[in-house]
Homo-oligomer: A and B are copies of this chain.
Amino acid sequence: MSKYREIYDYIKNEIVTGQVGYGGRLPSVRKASALFSVSRTTVQSAYFALSEDGYIISEPQSGYYVSYKSPAAQGEIGKKEAAKILFDLSGTRADPESFDFREWQRHMRYALRQTDRLLSYGEPQGEAQLREAVSQYILEKRNVAAGPERIVIGAGVQSLLHVLCALTRERGSVSFPDRSFVQGSALFESYGFDVRYRFKDADIIYVSPSHMTRWGDVMPNRRRIELVRHSAARGSLVIEDDYESDFQYNSRPAPSLYALSGGENVVYIGSFSRLLLPSIRISFMVLTPRLARLYAENIRKFSQTAGKTEQLALCSYIRSGRLMAQIRKTRRFYTAKAKIFCGILKKRLAGCKIELSENLLQVILEAPFSGRAEDFEKSGIRLFVEKYENGRITLVLSPSAVCQGSLEDAANALHGVLKL
């Protein structure tokens, strides 16, 4: 074993076992070189590698500090920030194992090095490079054929809907599938739209065909065709939020409304938060040719919300081919976990109605219950209560953020609250 590796392992061990805690200072290179009787170069290499691997951080003119938090320390921080959630079944967190952080960090570092580009404001529509990459990606993936000039980037779906609302103000009514997407319905409302639910004759129809309800229902192909025909005949605009289409279990996912319609009256929206990291706030929409012209004419009115650094990093990530690999990995990973969790629950909570959602990502549980809906959160379980009436409760459980080894414990915790 090389000297450098020896020092790396020694310090890493000190850190991981908590001998040197979070924020603790490491000996200077000079000191460590004397301490370990090696050259300064060797110490430097070890420090570089430790910093690359996230164990330490170098503060210029100051020294090296431990940046690694032991799981115990992390627990402590978590406690302060919120009620301690032991099992997050709400589906709003990602499993660390599903995402290769090192890979993402590499693309971010690459973006941060493009200093010349970072010195100026971004393009209002989103970086041209990224729009180009997205254009190829959605063609390949969802048969959505649209050039980069029709793609608008934004920080989350809400930012994109702001642009859309400003472009479609003459349209009076908008329909949502249900009341769960408050950020969308409230926004249309504040722009003066008449917000309706499941109203097929609305001027704008918002749907997420791959995740229609919290239950994860997928819109059948027959209904997709109906919707496309009806809206084309009426001249209404369909907003297709293709949320979670990548997670469909069929080898061939259902066709996008955009592809079925030819794209004349469908605005296609996609997002990377679920595939990569919830904290990466980059979404995109494909405007119809008419709306794209309108957007171009009014471009001075809009500013870009997505950060330039993350846009450049995402572009590099897509181009490297990692996105497709990540999709395959995440799909396998999350559907397998939901299946396992469903099996565990069926064994542990015999007598309840338990089934896997249509998109294979969630478990729907219906059980007799006499407690209060808040009891779950109080017991450290975060989840969605879909319905609670007449002594029966329906829960939507997304195990994606719970590591596989803890699924058993999550089932036990649920069992405890349900008092079965």
Contact = CB atoms under 8 A, between A and B. Distances in A.
A155 B307 contact: yes
**Dominant SS among interface residues on chain A:** helix
B74 A309 contact: no
Nearest to A298: B186
A416 interface: no
A113 B57 contact: yes
A101 B60 CA distance: 13
Contact of A48 (B45, B106, B279, B298): B45
Contact of A108 (B74, B108, B273): B108
A2 interface: yes
A41 B4 contact: yes
Given A169-B190, A305-B156, A113 B67 contact: yes
29 contacts: A41-B42, A45-B45, A48-B48, A48-B49, A54-B113, A67-B110, A93-B121, A96-B119, A101-B115, A104-B112, A108-B112, A109-B109, A118-B277, A119-B401, A120-B279, A121-B278, A121-B279, A155-B307, A166-B186, A166-B187, A182-B300, A182-B301, A183-B302, A186-B300, A187-B301, A279-B307, A279-B308, A279-B309, A306-B307
A92 interface: yes
Nearest to A277: B118
Interface in A145-187: 155-159, 162, 165-166, 169, 182-183, 186-187
A191 interface: yes
A92 B303 CA distance: 13
Interface of A: 2-4, 41-42, 44-45, 48-49, 52, 54, 57-60, 67, 69, 74, 78, 81, 92-96, 99, 101-106, 108-110, 112-113, 115-122, 128, 155-159, 162, 165-166, 169, 182-183, 186-187, 190-192, 273, 277-281, 298, 300-310, 401
A278 B120 contact: yes
Contacts of A94: 119-120
Contacts of A110: 57, 67
B303 A183 contact: yes
A18 to B, nearest CB: 17
A120 B101 contact: no
Sorted from nearest, which 4 A-B pairs have the closest CB atoms? A279-B308, A186-B301, A155-B305, A48-B48
A372 B377 CA distance: 67
A190 B187 contact: no
Contacts of A105: 109, 112-113
